[in-house]
Structure 1
Amino acid sequence: MKKQRGFAMQTLARVAVFAALIAVLGVPGTLNVFGAAVPITLQTMGVMLAGVILGSWRAALAVLVLLVLIAAGLPLAAGGRGGLGVFTGPSAGFLIGWLPGAAVTGWLVERGGRSPSTLRLFLACLIGCVGVIYLFGIPVWALVGGMSLGAAALSSLVFLPGDLIKAGLTAVVARGTQRAYPDAVPAVHQERVRSAGGR
């Protein structure tokens, strides 16, 4: 029972830390390139880091906590935005996409074993926190912006170079973290949970 409580407290602490990290990465504000209605922010990198270090469900929980706080009115979205209005604008789909994006990223990393390579971490970020987030973000941007899906997809290409850089940096940081702290590997989290539960 004490072990399970210990793991629960560790989980809550990790979730809180990464929810805070994603929020802090929004402090520098936003960058609108070529007048795009959807801004570029560093918060996506926080979502990537959550996925590769926390694993699937913990990362999703960290993102969910942040989104709930934003919806409640706290100015934690990039540029100091908060409230339900954030979820009705052009970037709403990208914000909502953080949740499945973090989960997919973590799921892919978990399947990399106890020592996922930098390449695997990078690809997990690309598939989860670029591919999945775009999958949610582009249709909503098209709908809210009154443009075709193709036009929104074409406009979203402006984000791609920055997202590739963020994915690369995340992979390097995560790999270094996992070398220094092996327990930071999501697969290890899963093993510890199974052993604590007696399964």
Structure 2
Amino acid sequence: MSETLSRERSHAMVQVALFAALTAVLGLIPKLDLPFGVPITLQSLGPMLAGCFLGARRGFQAMALFELAVAAGLPLLAGGRGGLGAFAAPTSGYLVGFILAAAATGLLMGRLPRATPLQAAISAFVASAVGGVLLLHASGILGLMQFAAMPLQKALLLDLAFVPGDLLKCAVCALVVHAVAKAMPDWPLGGRRR
């Protein structure tokens, strides 16, 4: 019994570390800098995937591990940034939002239909749109208001530049979930068995 429990914990730790590392790898893809200090990157795909595949708790843990590594100074953010200064920059709202986005995406994914690969893909798109777009962007807007001293209306307007790309990331997440659901039908999407 304890060996099985230990194996499950080890498996969970590996999954958390894997999705934290995946988010770091997504930061290696070149970013597109915008004039107001927040770049367009692929890293926001990380919380979407973590939430869909690991569920709320482990998705949260994966993004918390990623951010702990960033805070420790590892250059894991797009453009090779890291350190505590990243949490006081205009991007900080989005960065903190990674944790919330993964948790919300996972929570929603665990409650939506996942019985077939198509259902899982549609659910992944919806969960990613709510957690990885709505919640992440809300957090990002708060960061822009706080650390770039922008009024709400300007922060909302500037944030709109990210929405089309993030909706494409939701579609990519859905395609990945579809492929995994077909190839590995026993994977507990959203952290829950079907």
State the alpha-carbon separation in 2 of the partners of residues 84 and 4 from structure 1: 36
Q: Please name the residue that 2:99 is paired with.
A: 99
Q: Please name the residue that 1:30 is paired with.
A: 31
In the alignment, structure 2 segments of 5+ residues that lack a partner are none
Q: Please name the residue that 1:165 is paired with.
A: 168
Q: Please name the residue that 2:145 is paired with.
A: 142
Give the 3-state SS of the residue equivalent to 1:55 in structure 2: helix
Give the 3-state SS of the residue equivalent to 1:182 in structure 2: coil
Question: Do 2:27 and 2:78's aligned partners in 1 also have CA atoms closer than 8 Å?
Answer: yes
State the alpha-carbon separation in 1 of the partners of residues 54 and 193 from structure 2: 13
**Kindly, what percent of the aligned residue pairs are identical?**
39
Tell me which moved more, 157-166 or 108-117: 108-117
Letter in 1 for 2:43: Q
Q: Please name the residue that 1:71 is paired with.
A: 71
Q: How does 1:10-29 map to 2 (within 5 A)?
A: 10-29=11-30
Q: Please name the residue that 1:51 is paired with.
A: 51
Letter in 2 for 1:182: P
Question: Do 1:114 and 1:185's aligned partners in 2 also have CA atoms closer than 8 Å?
Answer: no
Q: What is the aligned counterpart of 1:154 among 157, 161, 165?
A: 157
State the alpha-carbon separation in 1 of the partners of residues 53 and 126 from structure 2: 14
In the alignment, structure 1 segments of 5+ residues that lack a partner are 193-199
State the alpha-carbon separation in 2 of the partners of residues 185 and 171 from structure 1: 15
RMSD: 1.5
Q: Please name the residue that 2:82 is paired with.
A: 82
With normalisation by structure 1, the TM-score equals 0.90
State the alpha-carbon separation in 2 of the partners of residues 9 and 100 from structure 1: 24
Tell me which moved more, 178-187 or 75-84: 178-187
State the alpha-carbon separation in 1 of the partners of residues 113 and 33 from structure 2: 39
Q: Please name the residue that 1:132 is paired with.
A: 135
Give 1:186 deviation, angstroms: 2.7
Letter in 2 for 1:36: F
State the alpha-carbon separation in 2 of the partners of residues 117 and 50 from structure 1: 14
State the alpha-carbon separation in 1 of the partners of residues 137 and 113 from structure 2: 27
Give 1:134 deviation, angstroms: 1.0
Which 4+ residue blocks in structure 1 deviate beyond 3 angstroms?
189-192
